[in-house]
Amino acid sequence: MKKRILVTGGAGFLGSHLCERLLKEGNDVICLDNFFTGDKKNIEHLMDNKYFELVRHDVSEPISLEVDEIYNLACPASPPHYQFDPVQTTITSVMGAINMLDIARRTKAKILQASTSEVYGDPEIHPQPESYKGSVSTTGIRACYDEGKRCAETLFFDYYRQYGVDIKVVRIFNTYGSNMNPYDGRVVSNFIVQAIKGEDITIYGDGMQTRSFCYVDDLVDSMIRMMNSRDGFTGPVNVGNPGEFTMLELAQKVISLTGSNSKIIHLPLPQDDPMQRQPDITLAKKELNWEPHVSLEEGLKKTIEYFKEVI
Ligand code: NAD
Ligand code: UDP
């Protein structure tokens, strides 16, 4: 029998890829989104599929749905977007988690939370294993997102212990690919759009801070494997590509792959910007038999093609 699967944030970057994959695998998919950062264009090609339904709804408000599985992704993910209305960002994470966990509790659905490497804050341990408890500011400009996501993890584990809800938690590291909003301010989209348009490439700070970038297809694969992982395996589990690059290296790669004559300029580093980030994926390899396969160069080439079409 077809599984009925709810994807919150399904019109966003990761959610739209997930909806597509789940439909391809023969499931009945409900996409719930309030279109804050998502776009109908990302899911337009799924609209004719009779097993795809779209619900315009804010996840921070209760809703009653009958489902077998829930992927909870609804939340703005880029710093400019989650800092636009920081109070709403925390509400989305916390109330969204409660509302979705309540559906899971009532319907006995399995529920996966899209958590983030931001729970590690500006990490003092490198690379970051799941056991690292993090170094997060409660008062800075990233706290609305970081602490919202940390509280959502807490709620997931309390619903698991207190009500026996079947939970799965993935901590996603920086991911990129098609369907990213070209103007959402994240580094990969910014650099590619700037390079294609021949505009200055904006590096914040000296560009020596690092991130580890995972291509979207690899990431979606890890989420589905996590949902289908053995009973009792809750995570949290890191998912991301351990290949680590400075922002300067990323800018140079984008310039060379686009053949752009853009120049690099330096702008101030935003407050609390983490200096380094690399996932330890030992647990994902063991429990999910998963590791990423797409290299940064290969993934960037595909993403550049996508942005050339849409901008
Ligand atoms: P995105 O901004 O493209 O997608 C988020 C989606 O959630 C959008 O469609 C948006 O409209 C929707 N949304 C936001 N607030 C909502 C609300 N209150 N009610 C209903 N829908 C709402 O971002 P993304 O990169 O696809 O991220 C998806 C999830 O994965 C987020 O929870 C994010 O925190 C997590 N994540 C992403 C990354 C990454 O690198 N892409 C890394 C770590 C974690
Ligand atoms: N960044 C940058 N130029 C940009 C956008 C971002 O140098 O135009 C930097 C940013 O300061 C951070 C890194 O790139 O150090 C990753 O930023 P992003 O917003 O993509 O993700 P996050 O900081 O949430 O990991």
* SS3 per-residue string spanning the chain: CCCEEEEECCCCHHHHHHHHHHHHCCCEEEEEECCCCCCHHHCHHHCCCCCEEEEECCCCCCCCCCCCEEEECCCCCCHHHHCCCHHHHHHHHHHHHHHHHHHHHHHCCEEEEEEEHHHHECCCCCCECCCCCCECCCCCCCHHHHHHHHHHHHHHHHHHHHHCCCEEEEEECCEECCCCCCCCCCHHHHHHHHHHHCCCEEEECCCCCEEECEEHHHHHHHHHHHHCCCCCCCCCEEECCCCEEEHHHHHHHHHHHHCCCCCEEEECCCCCCCCCCCECCHHHHHHHCCCCCCCHHHHHHHHHHHHHHHC
Could you tell which of 8, 61, 75, 222 is best to mutate to test the pocket of ligand 1, judged by most ligand atoms within 8 Å of the CB?
Answer: 75
Which residue's structure tokens are 């290299």?
Answer: 295
Give me the pLDDT at residue 1, please: 86
Domain assignment present for residue 189? The answer is no
Query: Would you say the CB of residue 240 lies under 6 angstroms from ligand 1?
Result: no
Place of tokens 């009500």: 163
Task: Supply the pLDDT for residue 17.
Answer: 98
User: What is the 4 CA–ligand 2 centroid distance (Å)?
Assistant: 36
φ and ψ at residue 84, rounded to 5 degrees: -65, -45
Is residue 120 one of the residues assigned to a domain? yes
- Does residue 92 have its Cβ closer than 6 Å to ligand 1? yes
- When pLDDT is cut at 50, 70 and 90, the band that residue 234 belongs to is very high
CATH number of the domain that residue 151 is part of: 3.40.50.720
In angstroms, rounded to a whole number, what is the distance separating the alpha carbons of residues 150 and 141? 15
Which of the ligands is closest to the CA of residue 223?
Answer: 1
* Residue 71 a catalytic site member: no
Nearest CA to ligand 1 atom 22: 74
Q: Which of 82, 120, 145, 160 is catalytic?
A: 145
pLDDT band of residue 226 (cuts 50, 70, 90) is very high
Handedness of CA 129, 132, 135, 139 (dihedral sign): positive
Note down the domain range covering 16.
4-175+215-240+278-292
Residue 51 has pLDDT above 90, yes or no: yes
Mean pLDDT of 105-117: 98
In a domain, 305, yes or no: no
DSSP β-bridge partners for residue 111: 70, 167
Q: Is residue 182 part of a domain?
A: no
Residue 201 CA to chain centroid, in angstroms?
24
**pLDDT tens digit string along 122-169?**
999 999 999 999 999 999 999 999 999 999 999 999 999 999 999 999
Give the tens place of pLDDT for each residue, 163-218: 999 999 999 999 999 999 999 999 999 999 999 999 999 999 999 999 999 999 99
For residues 253 and 176, the answer to whether their CB atoms sit within 8 Å is no
252: in domain: no
Closest CA to 278 of 222, 209, 219, 215: 209
Supply 302's token pair.
């595909």
187 Cα to the center of ligand 2, angstroms: 5
Residue 301 φ/ψ, nearest 5 degrees: -60, -45
The residue to mutate among 120, 183, 201, 204, having the most atoms of ligand 2 within 8 angstroms of its beta carbon, is: 204
> Relative to the alpha carbon of 278, which ligand is closest?
2
Residue 76, preceding peptide bond in cis (omega within 30° of 0): no
Cβ of 177 less than 6 Å from ligand 1: no
Encoded tokens for 176: 């990129």
Please give the distance, rounded to the nearest whole angstrom, from the Cα atom of residue 163 to the centre of ligand 2.
38
Kindly indicate the confidence band of residue 264, based on its pLDDT and cuts at 50, 70 and 90: very high
Say what percent of the chain tops pLDDT 70: 100
Please report whether residue 165 resides in a domain.
yes
Within a domain: residue 115?
A: yes
Specify whether the backbone of 198 is left (phi greater than 0), alpha (psi in -120 to 50) or beta: left
Q: What is the model's pLDDT at position 81?
A: 98
- Kindly report the protein residue whose alpha carbon is nearest to atom 18 of ligand 2: 186
pLDDT value at position 225?
Answer: 98
Does residue 106 belong to any structural domain of this protein? yes
Q: Which amino acid is at 201?
A: I
Nearest ligand, CA 207: 2
Tell me if 247 CB under 6 Å of ligand 2: yes
**From atom 23 of ligand 2, which residue's Cα is the shortest distance away?**
273
- The torsion defined by the Cα of 296, 278, 190 and 136, in degrees rounded to 10, comes to 170
b/e for 42-54, b at 16 or more Cβ within 10 A?
A: bbeebeeeeebbb
The residue to mutate among 6, 31, 32, 36, having the most atoms of ligand 1 within 8 angstroms of its beta carbon, is: 36
Mean pLDDT, the chain, whole residue set: 98
Cβ of residue 33 lying under 6 Å from some atom of ligand 1: yes
Number of domains in the chain: 1
Q: Report the distance separating Cα 260 and Cα 271, nearest Å.
A: 30
Q: Could you tell me if the CB of 31 is within 6 A of ligand 1? A: no
